[in-house]
Each structure stands twice: as structure tokens, then as C-alpha cells.
């Protein structure tokens, strides 16, 4: 029989309570283990169920697409891509036309037909004397053989560390990834957005990228040089920035650098949502807003703004889906409309507000992206680009269904329990 942690001790005076601290510690430890294990066990269970479900119902349904569309933002031409095959053709054409320099930074770079085509284009550019610099994330590509990244002499390759010290302490700021996707060619053409490099993304995922042609390419060039010089190893050359005579406040790159405690992307979202007077259209792959962003969306809806959030009904990260659903009741009760993308993965990270303000980039609205990863988002104040992103949003809406508060309240009680059990995992995502 286990001893009780508290027992009375007889004495001539008042009753004294003697505490068996070893027993208290034992029970406290057991409780902590259970509390920590419960959300992990629940996450493992839903991942197992989703694996079975995905075999029966894969995320491979066709979805609406639009051809690339361009608009002028002062002296820069901005082109929106909503289909991977179109984007890859433009990126490869830029690399194959490079005369002086190529900067490529990507989160995932798969060893498949598309990945090898990019690899060959970079090698060919180096062969004709172009300076080529590549950054890829080590952790995101652990399943890819390291030999795939053995590029020919003349291609400088930086592997962002696969494991960082903060991982052991679950410190996202010191363990986050290089989640950016950037291509800069000859200081004239640049690309940024949500697309990684691989066959899957070419035709099976819906995502958004932007190409810049003109002086605003400096925004992405400068971003690449900063991360290269911050993380390069001694055997890699230092890159020199050339500066920019152009000051274009209507088109800027916001760059999260967690190791340097720089987090502007969250700030641009909060500022722009607070300004909204007409409508807010947000598209996100993984939507787990913090208290301030959720409060800003609810405040906008309360003052009559049409707030819409479009997310995948099922994403490639089922745990993120469940954590996102923990916010649905509050958002729906507060007047925020939620649209669930059907049959395929939507991976875009975009927003447009009042037909004027737009952001396109790599950051999700979750803690990992906004405070942990290296991320980059363009912030553009331009009616033309906002109109294009609104057209893309309406296109995606046509492949979505709206989730109502009544439907959400009718979900199974076990679903509600699972959401609560897994909620402690939110700070990790």
C-alpha cells in the first residue's frame, strides 16, 4: 500500500502535519509525465489515423488555376504565379539566362525530376562563368541524400544547420529553420513566395509566388546576402552588398531573423489588420494565430469589416490542422468567416486588405513562422497587385466550402476533447 503524503502527528499541543515530500514529488512527477504525454499521444493517434485516411482519400484532386498576371509597382514589374509549373518555367528561364550572378535559397529541394532540372541549370550557369550561391535547409532535407547537393566547382553551397542548440530546450527562436524561398538573378529578376522545389509542388499543390523585375529586386538580394553572411562557414566567401539608391516604401521586404530578435512580419500583419475598413482576405496553409492577431481579426469583424480566412480542410500536417481548429469557435462566434479548401493542399501565405495592401511570402500565421523561423514576406501597397491577389482569393474560394458556426458546434464530442488535449502543443507550432 502506497504511503499517503500527509499524516497527522499526535502531540500535546496543536495538531502538526508532517509532509512526506518524497511521495509528493513522486505524484507530482507522475502528473507531469501524464500531462506531457497526453498531447503527444493524441497527436500520434491523429497522425496514424490521417495516414490511413490519406491512402483512401489522397490530396490529389484538380483545382482551379490562373495564368501568371503582371502589374507595375512604380519602376518594378510584379508578376503573380498561382501554379507551380508556370513558376518553375520562369525560374529556370531566369537561371539559364543569367550572365553574372545567381542566388537561390530554398527550404525543401527534392531529388526528383524537377529538383534535378534546377540542379543542372545551376551547374550550367556556373560552367559559363556565372557566380552561383545556394542556401538550403539541412533539417527539411534530411530525407534527401547529401550527395544530391554536391554541386560542381564554382557553385557555393551553404547548408543551414540541421540541428540547432535550442531544439533540446524546445526554444523555437534558437531551433527554427530557414523557411525562406528566394531566387535572385543578375540583380534584375527575383522571386519569393511559398513554393519549394519538387514535382509535388509543380502540379499537385496550390501556392503563390511573386516575381519582381526591376530595381525592387534589391529587397530580395539584400535579404539573401544578410543570411548568407550570417550563417556562412569559413570556407565560403563573404558577399558584399551594393546598397540601393531606390527608396520605395510601397514595396518592401519584411524579414524575420530570430537569432537577431527581428520579427517584423507579425508587426505588418497587426498594423494592416488594424487599418482595415472594408475587407481582410487571408490565405494560410497553417493558421494558428496568437492572441494579438486573433484579437485584431475579431476587432476588425466587430467594426463591420468582412474578415475571411481560407485554409486547407486537410493539410499535409494534420497536427497543425487540429491546433488551428482550436481557434475556430472563437473566430466564428466573433464574425470571422472561415473557408476550407477542398481536395488538395493549399500552401499559400498571402493576405490582401481593402484592395490596397498585400503581402506574399513564406511566413505562416503561427508561432514557429512569426517568432522561430527565418522568413520573408513582401509588403506591397498597390491597387493593381491587391486586385490580382483578390482575384486569386476568389478563385480559391470557388474550390472551398464555408464553415459555419452551427456546423462547428455540432462536431463530435471526442473531437472537442482531442482539440483540448492537444492544445498544449500550440507553442511548438
Please give the Cα distance from 71 to 429 (Å, whole number): 35
Q: Are residues 234 and 350 in the same domain?
A: no
Q: Which of 110, 119, 181, 209 is catalytic?
A: 181
pTM comes to 0.88
Please give the Cα distance from 64 to 392 (Å, whole number): 10
**Could you confirm whether 26 is annotated as catalytic?**
no
In a domain, 6, yes or no: no
Q: Which of 119, 347, 382, 396 is catalytic?
A: 347
Q: What integer is the mean pLDDT of 32-58?
A: 64
Number of domains in the chain: 3
Q: Which of 306, 354, 383, 416 is catalytic?
A: 354
Q: What percent of the chain has pLDDT over 90?
A: 72
In a domain, 10, yes or no: no
**Could you confirm whether 274 is annotated as catalytic?**
no
C-alpha torsion sign, points 213, 214, 216, 221: positive
344-357 tens-digit pLDDT: 999 999 999 999 99
Q: Which structural domain range is residue 289 located in?
A: 260-428
In a domain, 11, yes or no: no
Q: Which of 156, 327, 349, 396 is catalytic?
A: 349
165-182 tens-digit pLDDT: 776 666 777 778 999 999
**Could you confirm whether 327 is annotated as catalytic?**
no
In a domain, 46, yes or no: yes
Q: What integer is the mean pLDDT of 53-66?
A: 84
CATH number at residue 383: 3.30.870.10
**Could you confirm whether 226 is annotated as catalytic?**
no
In the sheet where 69-73 sits, what is the strand order?
69-73, 76-81, 209-213, 189-193, 182-185, 101-106, 131-137, 155-160
365-424 tens-digit pLDDT: 999 999 999 999 999 999 999 999 999 999 999 999 999 999 999 988 777 776 777 666
Q: Are residues 174 and 233 in the same domain?
A: yes
Of 199, 229, 250, the residue that ends a domain is: 250
Of 250, 272, 296, the residue that ends a domain is: 250
Q: Are residues 346 and 376 in the same domain?
A: yes
For residue 320, what is its C-alpha cell? 497543425
In a domain, 334, yes or no: yes
Residues in the chain: 429
Please give the Cα distance from 310 to 340 (Å, whole number): 6
CB-side neighbour CA atoms (13 Å) of 136? 22
Q: Which of 179, 207, 209, 327 is catalytic?
A: 179
**Could you confirm whether 317 is annotated as catalytic?**
no
* DSSP per-residue codes, 157-204: EEEE-SS-GGGGGT-GGGT--B---EEEETTTEEEEES--BSHHHHHT
Range list of H helices, 218-311: 218-231, 264-275, 291-302
pLDDT for the residue numbered 380: 98
Amino acid at each position: 500500500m502506497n504511503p499517503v503524503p500527509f499524516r497527522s502527528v499526535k502531540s500535546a499541543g496543536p495538531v502538526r502535519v508532517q509532509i512526506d515530500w518524497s511521495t509528493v514529488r513522486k505524484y507530482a512527477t507522475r502528473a507531469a509525465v501524464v500531462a506531457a504525454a497526453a498531447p503527444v499521444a493524441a497527436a500520434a493517434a491523429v497522425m496514424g489515423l490521417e495516414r490511413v485516411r490519406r491512402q483512401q482519400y489522397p490530396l490529389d484532386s484538380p483545382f482551379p488555376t490562373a495564368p501568371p498576371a503582371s502589374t507595375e509597382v512604380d519602376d518594378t514589374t510584379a508578376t503573380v504565379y498561382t501554379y507551380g509549373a508556370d513558376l518553375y518555367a520562369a525560374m529556370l528561364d531566369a537561371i539559364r539566362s543569367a550572365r553574372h550572378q545567381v542566388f537561390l535559397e530554398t527550404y525543401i529541394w527534392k531529388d526528383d525530376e524537377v529538383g534535378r532540372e534546377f540542379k543542372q541549370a545551376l551547374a550550367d550557369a556556373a560552367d559559363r562563368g556565372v557566380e552561383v550561391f545556394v542556401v538550403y535547409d539541412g533539417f527539411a532535407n534530411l530525407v534527401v541524400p547529401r550527395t544530391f547537393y554536391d554541386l560542381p566547382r564554382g557553385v557555393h553551397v551553404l547548408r543551414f544547420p540541421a540541428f540547432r542548440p535550442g531544439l533540446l530546450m524546445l526554444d523555437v527562436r534558437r531551433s527554427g529553420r530557414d523557411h525562406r524561398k528566394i531566387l535572385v538573378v543578375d540583380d534584375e529578376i527575383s522571386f519569393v513566395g511559398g513554393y519549394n522545389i519538387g514535382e509535388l509542388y509543380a502540379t499537385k499543390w496550390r501556392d503563390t509566388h511573386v516575381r519582381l523585375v526591376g530595381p525592387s529586386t534589391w529587397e530580395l538580394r539584400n535579404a539573401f546576402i544578410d543570411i548568407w553572411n550570417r550563417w556562412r562557414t569559413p570556407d565560403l566567401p563573404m558577399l558584399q552588398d551594393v546598397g540601393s539608391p531606390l527608396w520605395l516604401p510601397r514595396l518592401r521586404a519584411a524579414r524575420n531573423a530570430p537569432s537577431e530578435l527581428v520579427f517584423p512580419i507579425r508587426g505588418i500583419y497587426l498594423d494592416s489588420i488594424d487599418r482595415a475598413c472594408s475587407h481582410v482576405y487571408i490565405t494560410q496553409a497553417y493558421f494558428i494565430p496568437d492572441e494579438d492577431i486573433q484579437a485584431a481579426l475579431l476587432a476588425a469583424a466587430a467594426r463591420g469589416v468582412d474578415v475571411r480566412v481560407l485554409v486547407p480542410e486537410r493539410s499535409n500536417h494534420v497536427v497543425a490542422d487540429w491546433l488551428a481548429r482550436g481557434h475556430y469557435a472563437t473566430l466564428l462566434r466573433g464574425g470571422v468567416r472561415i473557408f476550407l479548401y477542398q481536395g488538395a493542399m493549399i500552401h499559400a501565405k498571402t493576405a490582401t486588405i481593402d484592395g490596397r495592401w498585400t503581402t506574399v511570402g513564406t511566413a505562416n500565421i503561427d508561432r514557429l513562422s512569426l517568432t522561430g523561423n527565418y522568413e520573408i514576406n513582401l509588403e506591397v501597397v498597390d491597387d493593381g497587385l491587391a486586385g490580382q491577389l483578390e482575384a486569386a482569393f476568389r478563385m480559391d474560394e470557388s474550390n472551398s466550402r464555408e464553415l459555419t458556426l452551427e456546423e462547428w458546434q455540432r462536431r463530435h464530442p471526442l473531437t472537442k476533447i482531442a482539440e483540448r488535449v492537444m492544445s498544449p502543443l500550440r507553442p511548438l507550432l
